[in-house]
Amino acid sequence: MTRVGMDTNALMMPVELDVRVFDELSRLLDDYEPVTARAVVEELRRLKSGGMGEEAMAASVGYDLAMERCRVVEHGESHADDALVELARDGSFDYVVTNDGPLRDRILELDVPVIGLRGRNKLAITRP
């Protein structure tokens, strides 16, 4: 099964960008398992308790998606981006979903394809 690493902003896409992220992943990949890092879950938890704005609402939805739809993996990093890079380096992911440019570049340097937003609400694969 294809393992897809989910970044914080990927899990917030449904609210912030009106992207049906799991439907889009199903369109791109036949059979996949969404996976996220413990640091991503913690970042979403912090963001959702940070206020009443759109970011807090998006983080709340993202946190729920992470807990309900993703396998959460442990790692040795405290920062979400570093955790995703560590897990990608270790071969824990076949793809990583992110819209973060610097993270995308770090993942692509590891020869791991990145799935990101293309157009208004569609995802596309960028290969190294």
Tens of pLDDT, residues 8-22: 999 999 999 999 999
Rounded CA-CA distance 4/90 in Å is 14
Check if CATH label 3.50.50.60 holds for domain 2-126. Answer: no
For the chain, percent of residues with pLDDT exceeding 70 = 100
As a whole number, mean pLDDT of residues 82-86 equals 97
pTM of the model: 0.94
Residue ranges of domains in the chain: 2-126
